[in-house]
Amino acid sequence: MWRYILQRLLALVPVVLIVSVVTFAFIHFLPGDPVIALIGPEAGTASPDVIEARKHELGLDRPLPVQYLDWLSGALRGDLGNSAVTRQEITEALSDRFPVTLHLAVASFVVAVCIALPTGILSAYKRNSPLDRILTILALTGVAMPSFWLGILLILIFAVQLQWLPPSGFVSITTDPVECIKHLILPAISLGTVQSAVIMRQVRSSLLEVFREDYVRTARAKGLNERAVTIRHALRNAMLPVVTIVGIQVSALLGGSVVTETVFAMPGMGRYAVDAIFIRDYPVVQAVVLVTALVVVLANLLTDLSYALLDPRIQYS
């Protein structure tokens, strides 16, 4: 097991390097001069010497390979540089904002699983029934529905009209658990509902395949009720493809958090990246993408390791 984990971790190194190269190149090849954008309205009256001095200060006057290697060497030491606008250390800013995104991702994941598992099981158990058709339509609606639209709708109903929940902001669970839950309910439902639709469809299709297996027929022939057959025998074996989809959904959760955090004004990594893109803060964008890539590849590793827990026949060597 440990040998397999070490091999997978080593295999992640080139993936992260490729992501860093692509991100660095893409950011620097965007049209427009980042220095002009950083100077702002005064750029039109700024002298060429001022612009060149600002470029030298940011290190943008050096060749791109030199800039990349300098940034990469700092990232390997845990130094992601400073914001080109606020001059704040990016590592410090991310340490404050990453817990916000983590809160949102975990809460959204809980919402998605709590919705997807029961509805997926029920839809498979009641295959081709009116209830199955209704749940299928709802799942397809969830897949097609943008999370930001659902978020705005939830704010209008539960925050503006009913005034039951706060419309924006964030409170850490270590500061006030009750307020934390109140602030997370709407964004978690907004992001988790969309993700649950994909997981629900996978749960249904996987269970339908398992229901055709011989051991399920044997369990029914022994007189076990359908609930015991589904929960104790079929569901565990149907979870392997579901876990794969859940692992893939981690990247969707992090991507969706960009929009959700912006809609609900949450000071997380997603909103930090959006603000940095608008003001052309290159170091911040590069750092956020790199951290997000690390989280996604580690989530995929945990997904692979979870297969052995679900199916003892799977061995890692």
Residue 188 belongs to a domain with what CATH number? 1.10.3720.10
What residue type is assigned to position 301 of the chain?
Answer: L
250 and 273 belong to one structural domain: yes
Counting residues of the chain whose pLDDT is more than 70, the rounded percentage is 88
Q: How far apart are CA 252 and CA 159, in angstroms?
A: 26
- Check residue 173 and give its pLDDT: 85
Longest CA pairwise span in the chain (Å): 87
Cβ partners under 8 Å of residue 289, min gap 6: 19, 23, 273
56 and 97 belong to one structural domain: no
52 and 186 belong to one structural domain: no
Task: Flag whether 140 is in a domain.
Answer: yes
| Burial of residue 170 (number of CB atoms within 10 Å: 0-12, 13-18, 19+) | buried
Domain count, the chain: 2
Task: Flag whether 268 is in a domain.
Answer: yes
- Check residue 42 and give its pLDDT: 56
153 and 61 belong to one structural domain: no
Q: How far apart are CA 125 and CA 290, in angstroms?
A: 43
71 and 100 belong to one structural domain: no
110 and 259 belong to one structural domain: yes
Per-residue pLDDT of the chain (317 residues; tens, 9 = 90+): 677 677 777 877 888 888 888 877 777 776 666 666 666 555 556 667 766 777 777 676 777 788 888 888 888 888 888 887 777 888 888 888 888 988 888 898 888 888 888 888 888 888 888 888 888 888 878 777 888 888 889 999 998 888 888 988 888 888 888 988 999 999 999 888 888 888 888 888 888 888 888 877 887 787 777 777 777 777 777 777 888 888 777 777 777 788 888 888 888 888 888 888 877 777 888 888 888 888 888 887 787 777 766 666 666 55
Token pair, residue 254, equals 């992090």
Task: Flag whether 293 is in a domain.
Answer: no
Domain that holds residue 265: 90-279
Token pair, residue 52, equals 């060149």
38 and 108 belong to one structural domain: no
67 and 120 belong to one structural domain: no
256 and 129 belong to one structural domain: yes
Token pair, residue 100, equals 């916000």
52 and 120 belong to one structural domain: no
Task: Flag whether 117 is in a domain.
Answer: yes
229 and 131 belong to one structural domain: yes
Task: Flag whether 238 is in a domain.
Answer: yes
Task: Flag whether 159 is in a domain.
Answer: yes
Task: Flag whether 1 is in a domain.
Answer: no
66 and 164 belong to one structural domain: no
Task: Flag whether 312 is in a domain.
Answer: no
